[in-house]
Amino acid sequence: MALSIFFFSLLLIFLSHFSSSHAESFIGVNYGQVADNLPPPSETAKLLQSTSIQKVRLYGADPAIIKALAGTNIGIVIGAANGDLPSLASDPNAATQWINSNVLPFYPASKIILINVGNEVSMSTDPNLVNQLLPAMQNVQKALEAVSLGGKIKVSTVHAMSVLGNSDPPSSGSFAAGYQAGLKGILQFLSDTGSPFVINPYPFFAYRDDPRPETLAFCLFQPNAGRVDHNTGIKYMNMFDAQVDAVHSALKSMGFEKVEIVVAETGWASRGDANEVGTSVDNAKAYNGNLIAHLKSMVGTPLMPGKSVDTYIFALYDENLKPGPSSERAFGLFKTDLSMAYDVGLAKSSSSGNSSGQTPSGKVTSTGWCVPKKGATVEQLQASLDWACGQGIDCGPIQPGGVCFDPNNVASHAAFAMNMYFQKSAKKSTDCDFSQTATITSQNPSYNSCVYPGGGGGGSAGVMNKYVNSDKLEKNGAIVPNGSSLLSLILFSFMSLIFHVNM
């Protein structure tokens, strides 16, 4: 009996962890301050609380901002400037003073979760600064441990994508030879302390360097032909996944594949100079909106499936004093009057599930329903799902708690999103194409309390069993259970163990 209680307790702990990990938000934002027209920190804190943003990255450690975020439960990333590295590296007391000034007065009321020691230091032409990076990180870590915050607040540093010597195909990702010696010690530090490898992937710059139409669609998570990694046979449907997986491969090549990846910056400029390609509100909205939808789907990347990396979008506001081309001053998701620059689905109301059991809203049409074609791959459907949810349709019903969330798999969610987009469009055949992965049917795909608008109410419900009722996904020829199936399997295993112990 005692063993039964023990195993049951373990089960409860596991279920608690399983639920909390799946409820965790992976969406953060960069809060830059190179501007003279920013709203007060208190107003920004209220703005953030009205969104689904759960983490904020600061480039420094502005006490007014850190204090304004107290009690909000928003995770805060703070930074030690590159100019601080010499003293932090050479004098442990300087690290102690830094923690005493920038952490202890605010923590834990202000939820500081990570300290970035330096920003893109490896790109510096000063070899002394590069050599001081690891000692500075180690001293900051020791200062945290001295006040019992080691492990509670992580220590890392931010890298540019240029630390990679090769990123195409993703499976061949590797660090540039000139950086490997210095990175080895840093990666060992990250592994020993459980801290993340922090990097700035920017599909925006990838498109700038290769401004073909097919590259733009690939970078914006829009329907495209995809790009096949010839080493693995994996077809990538967006640049973000390809870049993140290249980083994962580079870590693996150095023996550190278990080190977590955090995306410190990624975003898209909404305007630019005449000679800058791809800068527009439409492209910025498409990239950021589709990225957010992709992260919320928790499908992960091909090499790291089933989880979303913590991602900090650049940026919260435009920074009107930043030097360089016009695009540098045009990455803001919000205007400084606190209104949205464009809607990417960050408002809490736009991300909440529809749990009322009501029919999801949408125009009724007599032309039928738009559903995935037989043979469409998971990768293709995920790309279509990301794109459709980035076009302003209501994807709340397929978010956790929504009436169409279960079964929780890509095929089911893509079917719903495809149809919602089709019903709100002009309903031409081209509106149900999705790179030739969708088709119009006269058979109603609705099931249980999940009602697909369209078709004038005709047709028989429940015919899309492959997409709606299956609890498994086919990925690269293998059947992969979704989260619900995995949980059921684990529950069954626990109960069987308890039964055998009692026998």
Q: How many CB atoms lie within 10 A of CB 331?
A: 27
For the question of residue 265 being annotated catalytic, the response is: yes
Instruction: Specify the amino acid at residue 151.
Output: G
Report yes or no: 165 and 174 within 8 Å, Cβ to Cβ.
yes
The tokens for 205 are 């710059």
Residue 244 belongs to what H/E stretch?
helix 239-253
Pairing of strands 438-441, 369-372: antiparallel
Q: Is 1 exposed, middle or buried (0-12, 13-18, 19+ CB in 10 A)?
A: exposed
The tokens for 196 are 């993340």
For the question of residue 260 being annotated catalytic, the response is: no
Angle (deg, nearest 10), helices 2-23 and 483-502: 170
Report yes or no: 130 and 124 within 8 Å, Cβ to Cβ.
yes
> Of 106, 118, 104, 40, whose CA–CA distance to 74 is shortest?
106
- In degrees and rounded to multiples of 5, residue 118 shows phi and psi of 85, 160
SS (H, E, C) 188-249: HHHHHHCCCEEEECCHHHHHHHCCCHHHHHHHCCCCCCCEECCCCCCEECCHHHHHHHHHHH
Cα of first residue to Cα of last residue in the chain, in angstroms, is: 10
Q: Is 430 exposed, middle or buried (0-12, 13-18, 19+ CB in 10 A)?
A: exposed
Please pick, among 43, 120, 145, 474, the residue that the annotation labels catalytic.
120
Q: Distance between CA 170 and CA 158 in Å, rounded?
A: 20
Please pick, among 265, 319, 328, 474, the residue that the annotation labels catalytic.
265
SS3 269: coil
> Of 424, 453, 426, 422, whose CA–CA distance to 440 is shortest?
422
Q: Establish how many alpha carbons lie within 13 A of residue 313's alpha carbon, considering only the half-sphere containing its beta carbon.
A: 29
Q: Distance between CA 289 and CA 155 in Å, rounded?
A: 30
280-298 burial code (b ≥16 CB/10 A, e <16) = eeebbbbbbbbbbbbbbbb
61-90 burial code (b ≥16 CB/10 A, e <16) = beeebbebbbebebbbbbbbebebbbbbbe
Tell me the H-state helices in 311-351. Answer: 348-351
Residue 473 belongs to what H/E stretch?
strand 472-475
User: Residue 79 forms beta bridges with which residues?
Assistant: 116
Q: Distance between CA 203 and CA 209 in Å, rounded?
A: 10
Pairing of strands 369-372, 55-58: unpaired
Known catalytic residues?
Answer: 120, 265
